[in-house]
Amino acid sequence: MTTTSTNKPPIWFWIASVIALIWNGLGVDGYLGQAYNTERYRSSFTPEQLEVAANAPSWTTAAFAIAVFAAVLGAIFLLLRKKIATTFWMISLIAVILQMGYALITGEAASIVMVLMIIVFAFAFLWFSRLSASKGWIS
């Protein structure tokens, strides 16, 4: 029988994990606003941007959903100190690359800075999850 040992994570582990949950919770809010075409969502964009979003391929919307929901699960599993968090962060990163890659390639990104920030955060959260596993903070 093998046992897995875990180390007590430092305080910044908890801070980073909560930031990950909040950041990706905002992503879920953005997805739900787009999916349900809420007034708050529509008021955040120009008519041209709304038209671009409405005409985007359905697979990009699916990638958006997968990216944010997988990331929220990844953050929750980090907070629960479960190694499966890394799997969810990888799924999220792949979906982010698909969704944001399409936006960059087609020139339909509303904000290049935001697109790049989303990609960087997705990589950072996966890296953080892997670091946490290697340090024994999650098992």
User: Does residue 41 lie in a domain region?
Assistant: yes
Is 41 within 8 Å of 34 (Cβ atoms)? yes
Q: Give Cα 4 distance to the centre of its chain.
A: 28
Query: Does residue 83 belong to any structural domain of this protein?
Result: yes
- 8 Å CB contact between 19 and 128: no
* Number of domain units in the chain: 1
Does the model's pTM come out above 0.85? yes
Answer yes or no: is 76 within a domain. Answer: yes
Q: In 44-111, where does DSSP find H-type helix? A: 47-54, 58-79, 85-106
What residues make up the domain containing 28? Answer: 11-133
pLDDT tens for each residue of 3-53 = 455 699 999 999 999 999 999 999 999 999 999 999 999 998 888 888 888
Residue 138 located in a structural domain: no
Q: Is 5 domain-assigned? A: no
Q: Per the domain annotation, does 45 fall within a domain?
A: yes
